[in-house]
Structure 1
Amino acid sequence: MRILLSSLSALALVSCSAPQDVSAQTGEPVIAAATETFSVEEVATFNEPWAMTFLPDGRALITEQGGTMHLWSPDQPPVEVRGIPEVDYGGQGGLGDVVVHPDFAENGLVYFSYAEAGDGDTRGAVVARGALVVAGDDSASLNDVEIIWRQAPKVEGRGHYSHRIAFSPDGYLYISSGDRQAMAPAQDLSNTLGTIVRLNDDGSVPDDNPMDGEASPETAQIWSYGHRNVLGLAFAPDGQLWDMEHGPAGGDELNRVEAGANYGWPLVSNGEHYDGTDIPDHDTDASFRAPAIWWTPVIAPGGMIFYTGDMFPELTGDVLIAGLSSNAIVHVEIDGDTAREAGRFTFDNRIREIEQGPDGTIWVLEDDEDGRLIRLTAGG
């Protein structure tokens, strides 16, 4: 079915008409407004979908938090991908991100993240990889699966895994590692909680990472630290890494991620603790890297992309962020190391994931037990 922007259907997108946040740079309200008319098509439903990635042939891999990965084709029912290890499902944990190797056409390698149980009542994120093998229209598997990275240490609780994955233009593997709701470890360089790590594609540590590794073997993996819960991770067309992370009560952040930088959590934040306790703002301590833009009220970000297609020229080169509590795609323009919200496109349901199709279409996954896969194209 095709549903136009102007329809009154539950899938119709609407523009916002009131201030949504305050820019960290200007202090002026950012007014969200729809800048593009989409044609909207629901193409499939999944059970708690979390992430998706496109293959070169136009098919996609889609993960469900409960532990299932699907190979989706436009003209075939989804096929379950065998070979996924047991995941620790519960809370924010389960099967997470999925991306393909930059040389997937030659090596067939797929990288995916999930929560893994540990000793006692502990768990942590891992990233694994395997070779995708497809036989006909109804058989797919990941072969020779190996874990190439483990979040350290494993701790109790089921929150803030982060475990987003992104390959840089020069082929390095970046992984967001959440603070696991423990807060203080994000400032402790002897572990990888509250960090973004940088690895070679086999999980080994590059020689030119910014930390010397003296505190622990994990230290050498760290690219940046002082992060809370990074659920968006993407490279801009110029090769610069950006992240999108949840603040506490207020203060969701879009950050320009640089080698060795400390983003301050939990010592500074533009939000406050859930019990109302104040946290000093970023501008109270210049030693911490401040966000390019922050949101209060929060947008509760999911995935993010830099749009590089031609179908929506007004969006080309800009950031598109999946919004959970905001039920939106949030459109942000970047100018050097600053950013501004240019508008948002709101839905009736929480948006967990956003991806760009090979033809420039935009795809979103809803965050629900019957989460819809929705395709956005131009016009109506």
Structure 2
Amino acid sequence: MKVGMIGCGVISRQYLESFDRLPDVQLVAVADLDRARAEAAAEGREGVRVLSVDELIADAEVDTVLNLTIPAAHAEVDLRAIAAGKNVYSEKPFAVTTEEGARVLEAAAAAGVLTGSAPDTVLGTGTQTARAVIDDGVIGTPIAATATMVTPGHERWHPQPDFYYVPGGGPLLDMGPYYIHALVTLLGPVEAVIGAASRLRTERTIGSGPREGETIPVTTDTHVTGVLVHESGVLSTLVMSFDAVATTAHPIEIHGTAGTLAVPDPNRFDGDVRLHPLGGESWETLPVTGGYEQAGRGIGLQDMAVRGADLRASGELGQHVLEVMNGVLEAAASGTLIEITSTVERPAAVPLTAADGAVVAG
């Protein structure tokens, strides 16, 4: 798979670190509205050309566009790439509005190209080991889950945090994809949601970089809670906050009739999976039994290159999660339960797979 990367901001560094470890993926071109950032991304990478966005989308060598633009541009860039006959793989969220995401999927289906969506962290050993434990019946029948993300705000460390505090940002659309992609991977799709949300401040102060001390407006909710009703009947409770300071909660907990599972941070690829069995006296750390080992951002592209239309970090999954998130925000605004119209198959489990693509177990 020959990839052209559009958007060379902060997150691109993590993708660049992964490319050399992906046996079936080759980065061939980069583009950014700030050409200097694109040149920095290509520096020292043999065969990687610096192009304009228009040139990259039209380039015959590029078969897949990796879209790392800001959320508000995800759908627009994807649609342009699809119109040029390219596969697309987008950073999260898949789009800003559910309607935009649907247009991307419709265009891709008509053009016969693939769509992928971050986060691919769910393909790592953390979430996939938890998936194997659940599928093996270790915790019995799943009943409920909690997903908790608490931080005082990205403006404390990000030099250009504006997009986090406008529609398409906020804690739910920014960080929610990690947690909800994991919940759907572990427990299946969602059929309805309820929610509540608040906004603590109307502006934030940038804490680092050349704009340190500058204030930016906040036009989206910064603390969101919700309940996801999975098709299986499991109830997942979300707390996503850019207002609170800290928490002692596990990032994700899955409660079953025979035990509770502590799932590691879904913003990471690895981490300990811990089990407290019914009748047990303490938590026990479980061995790694699933997922891509030593994975980094971009493993979803490798999965796309190998599996084609059966890719796990699919656009369909990204779209379902986008509708769930926007449903929670709609429920918070209306005070009503919102039914989710889309559904998606649980992505196939990832057997324990070495960095070179060799299946270790499963």
TM-score (norm 2): 0.27
- The structure carrying a bigger strand percent of its residues is 1
- The structure carrying a bigger helix percent of its residues is 2
